């Protein structure tokens, strides 16, 4: 199975799971985030990062009610680890940093905090709360932090019940363009190891 087939299969199989306390599914949330990135004229790697930013939620096996049970699955790390060999760090890093970007935005932008949904405020606590001001400087020294912040703002808006947006197949050209040259070997090795 190719990497892109595996991604489509994952969203077909597990994308109908609810998006933690929001009125949209995981797949709807992913597609709305990608659509906002595309509408905002983001470059293809950032559109792909937006589409796949929560893939860690579909890869982990902790169950849909983890946040309710007070568990942080560190889905951003699970997702980034899976994405790196397939797409490289310019896509996996914004994904890895998208939770820290929420904590960062809450520290520097009071309007952003005020717009968080109740479920997002709840998960913020589990994820370490608002970032300390001294840590915001550290965050800004990481590669791809600006992309993570852009992604995070779309992430927060991508929770509109019933919104019609393009399907996942719409992003096949961007996904193909962003694949690492040896990505198919990486996916074969990952399958062989597991």
Q: Interface residues with Fe ion (CB under 5 A)?
A: 54, 155
Q: Which is nearer to Fe ion, 156 or 184 (CB)?
A: 156
Angle at 59 (CA atoms; ends 179, 148), nearest 5 degrees: 60
- Among the listed residues 91, 65, 63, 86, the one whose alpha carbon sits nearest the alpha carbon of residue 76: 91
Shortest Å, Cβ 151 to Fe ion: 9
For tokens 């840590």, name the residue: 135
Shortest Å, Cβ 17 to Fe ion: 13
Q: Which is nearer to Fe ion, 99 or 179 (CB)?
A: 99
Shortest Å, Cβ 193 to Fe ion: 28
Indicate the residue whose CB is closest to Fe ion. 155
- Terminal CA-to-CA distance of the chain, rounded, Å? 15
Give the other-Cβ count within 10 Å of 24's Cβ: 18
Shortest Å, Cβ 52 to Fe ion: 10
Q: Which is nearer to Fe ion, 3 or 120 (CB)?
A: 120
Determine the Cα–Cα distance for residues 74 and 127; give it in Å rounded to an integer.
8
Q: Which is nearer to Fe ion, 16 or 191 (CB)?
A: 16
Report which DSSP code applies to 15. T
Q: Which is nearer to Fe ion, 28 or 155 (CB)?
A: 155
Shortest Å, Cβ 87 to Fe ion: 17
Angle at 116 (CA atoms; ends 111, 120), nearest 5 degrees: 150
């Amino acid at each position: 199975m190719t990497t892109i087939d595996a991604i489509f299969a994952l969203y077909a199989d597990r994308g109908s799971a609810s998006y933690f306390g929001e009125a949209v599914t995981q797949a709807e949330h992913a597609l709305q985030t990608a659509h906002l990135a595309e509408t905002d004229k983001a470059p293809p790697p950032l559109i792909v990062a937006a589409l796949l930013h929560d893939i860690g939620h579909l890869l982990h096996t902790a169950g849909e009610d983890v946040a309710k049970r007070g568990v942080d699955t560190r889905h951003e790390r699970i997702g980034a680890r899976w994405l790196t060999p397939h797409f490289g760090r310019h896509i996996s890093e914004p994904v890895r940093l998208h939770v820290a970007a929420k904590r960062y935005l809450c520290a520097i932008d009071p309007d952003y905090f005020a717009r968080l949904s109740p479920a997002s405020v709840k998960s913020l606590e589990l994820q370490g709360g608002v970032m300390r001001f001294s840590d915001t400087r550290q965050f800004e020294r990481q590669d791809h932090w600006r992309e993570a912040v852009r992604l995070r703002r779309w992430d927060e808006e991508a929770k509109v019940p019933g919104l019609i947006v393009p399907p996942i197949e719409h992003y096949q050209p961007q996904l193909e363009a962003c694949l690492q040259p040896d990505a198919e070997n990486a996916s074969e090795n990952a399958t062989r190891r597991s």
